[in-house]
Amino acid sequence: MLTRKQRELLLYINKHISEAGISPSFDEMKDALGLKSKSGIHRLITGLEERGFIRRLRHRARALEVLRLPHTAAIGEHGPRADKGVFAPKVVHGDFGGPLAGAVAPAESETAELPLYGRIAAGTPIEALRDYSSTVQVPVSRLGPGEYYALEVAGDSMAEAGILDGDTVILERVDIAENGSIVVALIDDEEVTLKRLRSKGQSVALEPANKDFETRIFGPDRVKVQGRLIGLIRKY
């Protein structure tokens, strides 16, 4: 559920707070992880916060609270709670490297079997790994003549759009989407995320649907659309 760098940063923050009684500065975190800029640390912290591993204490400088560690019980003001278990992320690869092996909707059958590429964080982008072993059944009436695939959502940054943690989203493979569409976006050819797409002049904004998360803005050459949301499946 965490990238290697996210895990390294989380453990470093926890160790620093335990030893010094205060969270490390951005410069200290940058040096500890060997990064060249603090923007990378900001992205890692946002990812950890969205996944529920840390919490930023508002209106206080250098105030981070570790809520849980990887594969352990959660900690914090509400007491311990069991983690949901070890999860190995299996999501669509950020660079398809050619035609996506999505299912073409059949013309006559009642359901279509779509490849389920695993979990995608509806928050800070995570590195992606292809998985062709799982599928999901979708009514043909919900599909058109294009290519489709499915992803399981992790996180709640799209909750106000009705997309919740654990939902399975159905996506049409496209490389162009209308302004305001919810898309799978590839950032810098290495990270993917599920967000609402907004074009603003020469910039592209990826908007969450949750007031607790930030809109991220990129140059148009840094973002590639890899799918457009057409529906979701929810298990109760």
Active site residue 200: no
Selecting among 23, 30, 90, 157, the annotated active-site residue is 157
Strand runs (DSSP E) across the chain, as ranges? 54-56, 64-66, 103-104, 111-121, 135-139, 147-154, 168-172, 182-187, 191-200, 203-207, 216-218, 223-233
Which single residue is written with the structure tokens 């569409």?
181
Phi, psi for 175 (deg, rounded to 5) = -115, 0
111-121/147-154 β-pairing: parallel
Is residue 5 annotated as a catalytic residue, yes or no?
A: no
Catalytic choice (30, 90, 195, 224): 195
Closest by CA to 218, choosing from 230, 195, 102, 178, is: 195
- State phi, psi for 33 to the nearest 5 degrees: -95, -5
Measured in degrees and rounded to the nearest 5, phi and psi for residue 53 equal -90, -30
Judge contact between 5 and 33, C-beta under 8 A.
yes
As annotated, the active-site residues are: 157, 195
